Chains A and B, each alone.
Chain A
Amino acid sequence: MSNILAPENISLNETAASQADVFQLIAEKAGELGITADTGAVVTGLAEREKQGTTGLMDGIAIPHAKSASITDAALVVVRLRESVEWESLDGNPISMAISLLIPEGEAGTTHLKLLSQVARTLIKPAVRAQLLAAETPEAVVEILGQHVVTA
């Protein structure tokens, strides 16, 4: 529960040339965090969800998500890019920050799901998006998301 969103889930200085690269980064991060043993399946899960409709939001933020049996614990993984990538987002802008929700297949406890939903909700607020894009450290990102989730 505590590591669903921790500073080590967040990298703010990554390089990617395409959406597929971003999925790969997210999956590798998930592997490092020990919440999946099969990064390939995580990439597939993210790509499959994307096919059902874009997860790109406004102002360069996207929320790619996946529900997969290969994910063992629910977690948020945040990747911010030095240069943005094309994503077919809602406002047409390329994406420079991916806030990814990773969900185990059999996730039954609603606490985790609600938490993730609240994170998604909070991204609707323009101020939150601006703060996230400007955050300087992983700790700051945790604080921004944490604050709004608690008060949401």
Chain B
Amino acid sequence: MSPIQIVAATGCPTGIAHTFMAQEALEQAAERLGVSIKVETHGQVGIENALSAAEIAAADGVIIAADKDVNAARFNGKRVVDVGVKAGISRPDELIQEILSGTAPIRGGNPVPAAPEPGEKAGEDDHGLFGDISVKPGGKFQARDLYKHLMNGVSYMLPFVVGGGVLVALSFLWGIYSADPKHPEQYNEFAAMLMAIGGTAMSLMVPVLSAFIADSIGKRPALVVGLVTGLLASNGGTGFLGGIITGFLSGYGMLLLAKLLDRLPKALGGLKAIFIFPVLGVFIFGSITYLIASPMKAINTSLQDFLSGFQGTNPILLGLIIGVMCAFDMGGPVNKAAYVTGVALLGSGNFYFMAAVSAACITPPLVTGFAALFFRKAFDEKTRDAAYVNFALGSTHITEGAIPFAARNPLLVIPILMLSSSISAILTFLLQVQVPAPHGGFLVLPVVTNGLQWVAAILAGSVIGGLIYGYAMQRRANKTQATPVETEKEVLV
């Protein structure tokens, strides 16, 4: 008779000490109790001693001693002892006894093969293309899961915004019309190329956000659907809020679809992954997105009419409306409505309105930059660097720079940005600033009437917003440290 075989996975947020102490403790306990054990470690250097699907299948039980995600869905259907990493260190014998005595509960859900985590090395058995879709184990649904999925999308989106935004900003150095052959005095081929490349990178932002929210929820089958629906939403003019919606729709929608198709005969398994999921998924959720996105044009037009009706009204009220609209979705239908109205009014000689719109559009990225400057410790290094890049993006009217910050925490950040943009817009009205150019940020200062006042108005809104946002993030950071959760990607150590 072969000895009892146990597999285990250990992991901790830092991935230096406890992960490996738990491994050692479990191995020693196994030796004392005469059972065989293999411990997979999820450390700072990645996954080591990875468990293969065959080893998991052959195991009599599983011990998870981890304070981070160790991809537990692959253990579905086995007896699993699921505890924190410290229990693995302090009472390894008890954990093994739970397996031996058969008191450990069987983990719900169907077994699913290991799928590689983003940025981590795959286990030995990467079933890849034909891997089945991951079904939520045990049906436990937690708010922090939502946050984790959202953050996954945001972290993939961020480099697109930075890379694209900086290239577009650079193209403005030749003048704000440098990419437009209709303006031969400024047109420059290299600038036009920068603009085309940067614009393409930025246009991928919303699809990538949607795709990787979906991927985090439903793995590869959902990624496809999330990417397509994200691009549909983006083309439909929904902005990044639409991308968040399509990401969750595609992710959870595909989980549901997988559940519904669970009863299909096993023989169709391969067909499911390569044919049924992509065709049905893209059709169903693509259609839903198409229908949701179609009224965007109408919303946009009616908002423009609404806003035009307000020109010449009380400057404080108008500034407030413009600020709220511009910061609401940063490139979505509401923001676009304000922007397009501003451009239209330029044609009729009203340069005050555009000044306020530009101020409200420049402010959000600057808010994130100032927040990171004032509250360094509230942001991890990567986020902080992106926030500093936002000084350049904001100064050149690339509002999108603020999107990754807003997307990770929309309910908190968007109101703060609205307030900041409103302050900037109201002050711009009160200080009688006129901006005759539709884009370019501070690069058009030479043609701005009351340019200094304009900069002061924008800085006022941005600094106030930066203080509020930074303070809010710091409080959040302190709270997160008190309760270690799924933050390993963002706040290591």
A-side interface residues toward B, CB under 8 Å?
44-45, 48-49, 51-55, 57-58, 63, 65-69, 90-91, 101, 103, 105, 110, 113-114, 116-118, 120-125
Given the known A-B contacts A48-B493, A52-B13, A114-B45, are A120 and B18 also in contact in the complex, defined by CB atoms under 8 Å?
Answer: yes
With A121-B20, A121-B21 already in contact, the answer to whether A57 and B89 are too (CB < 8 A) is yes
A101 touches B17 (CB 8 A): yes
0 or 1 for each of B468-493: is its CB under 8 Å from A? (1 = yes):
00000000000001101000000011
Say which residue of A49, A90, A114, A118 sits within 8 Å of B14 (CB atoms): A49
Alpha-carbon distance A121/B13, docked complex (angstroms): 16
A and B contact pairs by CB, cutoff 8 A, 15 listed: A49-B493, A51-B481, A52-B13, A53-B12, A53-B484, A65-B14, A90-B86, A90-B89, A91-B90, A101-B16, A103-B16, A116-B17, A117-B20, A117-B43, A124-B89
- Taking CB atoms, residues of chain A closer than 8 Å to B43 are 113, 117
Indicate if B71 sits at the interface (CB-CB under 8 A): no
Q: How far is the CA of A52 from the CA of B86 in the complex (A)?
A: 12
CA separation between A103 and B16, bound complex, in Å? Answer: 9
Residues of A within 8 Å of B493, CB to CB, are: 45, 48-49, 65-68, 103
Residues of B close to A58: CB separation below 8 A = 90
CB-CB under 8 A from A51, the residues of chain B are 481-482
**Inter-chain contact A124/B90, CB cutoff 8 Å:** no
Residue of B16, B20, B86, B89 contacting most chain A CB atoms (<10 Å): B16
Residues in B neighbouring A114, C-beta threshold 8 A: 45
Which residues of chain B come closer than 8 Å to A121, judged between CB atoms?
Answer: 20-21, 23-24
Q: B327: shortest Cβ distance to chain A, in Å?
A: 32
Q: Which chain A positions have C-beta within 8 A of B421?
A: none
- Size of the B side of the interface (Cβ < 8 Å), in residues, is 28
Distance, CA A65 to CA B18, complexed state (A): 11
Query: B19 contacts the other chain (Cβ, under 8 Å)?
Result: yes
Chain B residues with CB below 8 A from A105, complex form: 381
Q: How far is the CA of A64 from the CA of B447 in the complex (A)?
A: 58
Most buried by B among A48, A90, A123, A124: A124
Asked if B481 contacts A48 (CB within 8 A), the reply is yes
Most buried by A among B20, B23, B43: B20
Using CB atoms, name the residue of chain B closest to A123.
Answer: B21
Residues of A within 8 A of B25 (CB): 124
List which B370-413 residues lie within 8 A (CB) of chain A: 377, 381
Kindly list chain A residues whose C-beta atoms are within 8 Å of the C-beta of B492.
Answer: 67
Q: Is the interface of A mostly helix, strand, loop or mixed?
A: mixed
The smallest beta-carbon distance between A85 and chain B, in angstroms, is 19
Per-residue 0/1 for B5-42: is the Cβ within 8 Å of any A Cβ (1 yes, 0 no)? Answer: 00000001110111111011100100000000000000
**A residues within 8 A CB of B90?**
58, 90-91
Contact A53 B86, beta carbon cutoff 8 Å: yes
Using CB atoms and an 8 Å cutoff, list the residues of chain B in contact with chain A: 12-14, 16-21, 23-25, 28, 43-45, 67, 84, 86, 89-90, 377, 381, 481-482, 484, 492-493
A110 near B24: Cβ-Cβ < 8 Å: no
Contact A65 B17 (CB under 8 A): yes
Output the nearest chain B residue to A122 by Cβ-Cβ distance: B24
Give Cα distance in the complex from A116 to B19, angstroms: 12
B45, A113: Cβ atoms closer than 8 Å: yes
| Pairwise interchain contact A52-B481, C-beta atoms closer than 8 A | yes
Which residue of chain A has its CB nearest to the CB of B478? Answer: A51
Given contacts A51-B482, A52-B481, contact A116 B381 (CB under 8 A): no
Instruction: Find chain A residues with CB under 8 A from B18 CB.
Output: 53, 120
With both chains docked as a complex, state the minimum distance between the C-beta of A10 and any C-beta of chain B, in angstroms: 18
The answer to whether A65 and B16 have CB atoms under 8 Å apart is yes
Determine the residue in chain B with the shortest Cβ distance to A119.
B17
Tell whether A120 pairs with B17 under 8 Å between CB atoms, given A48-B481, A51-B481, A53-B484. yes
Task: List 8 tightest A-B contacts by C-beta distance, closest first.
Answer: A120-B17, A67-B493, A124-B24, A90-B90, A117-B20, A121-B24, A52-B484, A51-B481
Q: A45-B493, A49-B493 are in contact. Are A67 and B21 (CB under 8 A)?
A: no
A116 touches B89 (CB 8 A): no
> Inside 8 A of B484's CB, which chain A residues have their CB?
52-53
- Knowing A49-B493, A103-B16, the reply to whether A120 touches B21 (Cβ < 8 A) is yes
* Interchain CB contact under 8 A, B20 and A118: yes
B481: nearest chain-A partner, CB-CB:
A51
Instruction: Chain B residues near A45: list those with CB within 8 A.
Output: 493
Nearest Cβ distance between residue B478 and chain A, in whole angstroms?
A: 8
Given known pairs A51-B482, A124-B89, the reply for A63 and B17 (CB within 8 Å) is: yes
Q: Report how far A29 CA is from B77 CA in the complex, Å.
A: 51
Chain A residues with CB below 8 A from B89, complex form: 57, 90, 124
Measured in the bound complex, the distance between the Cα atoms of B12 and A101 in whole Å is 15
Asked whether, in the complex, the Cβ of A120 is within 8 Å of the Cβ of B381, the reply is: no
Looking across the interface, which residue of chain A has its beta carbon closest to that of B89?
A90
Complex Cα distance A24/B182, Å? 65
**A51 and chain B: residue at smallest CB distance:** B481
Determine the residue in chain B with the shortest Cβ distance to A114. B45
Whole-angstrom CA separation of A110 from B90 in the bound complex: 27
A residues near B28, Cβ cutoff 8 Å: 124-125
Shortest CB–CB separation between residue A66 and chain B, in angstroms?
7
List residues of chain A with CB within 8 A of the CB of B14.
49, 52, 65, 67
Cα A139 to Cα B14 with chains together (Å): 29
A65, B44: Cα distance in complex, Å: 13
**Is A110 in contact with B481, judged by CB distance below 8 angstroms?**
no
